[in-house]
Amino acid sequence: MVQHPVPPGGRFDGALHRLAVRVYHEDTDATGRAYHGAYLRWFERARSDILDLLGIDQRKAIEAGEGFYVVSDVSLRYRAPALLGDIVVIETACEFARAASSRMIQTAVQDGVTLCEANVRVGFVGPDGKPKAQPLAWRNAFASIISDTERK
């Protein structure tokens, strides 16, 4: 029986979620650095991983016509480059999770150095693209990972 390889995915350290990603050729560009757009993909991986850990099945919700999350706005501040082969840890904290939208603070860190900071607002929409309340069970799942400071 073959051994399964290390499954990809992050974990929670209290309310903070951490996912390690590696910088592959696909992520870099001709300047020798990670392409600035790669961070959006890494941040999405972390948010999708959080949904998975919270038991939220995005695919099922899409297929059932319930809806899906969309990024409504995001701001990114790049501080230092990631290079080919680097292991970058994506840290995600959920600032709030309301019926209509959630906000995540995401940071890409390498060996204690902040590479990129992001502030992401996510909304939930139906198949018609119109905003709708996210399922209550999902919202409650998110509530469980809001940091204490924020919940007060």
The yes or no reply on residue 152 touching a second copy (CB under 8 A) is: no
CB of 114 to a second copy, least distance (A): 13
B/e letters for 113-138, b = 16+ CB within 10 Å, e = fewer, are: eebbbbebbbbbeeeeeeeeebeeeb
The yes or no reply on residue 126 touching a second copy (CB under 8 A) is: no
Instruction: Please state, in angstroms and rounded to a whole number, the distance separating the CA atoms of residues 42 and 45.
Output: 5
Catalytic choice (13, 27, 29, 57): 29
Q: Which one of 55, 75, 130, 151 is in contact with a second copy (CB under 8 A)?
A: 75
The yes or no reply on residue 100 touching a second copy (CB under 8 A) is: no
The yes or no reply on residue 36 touching a second copy (CB under 8 A) is: yes
20 three-class SS: strand
Catalytic residues: 29
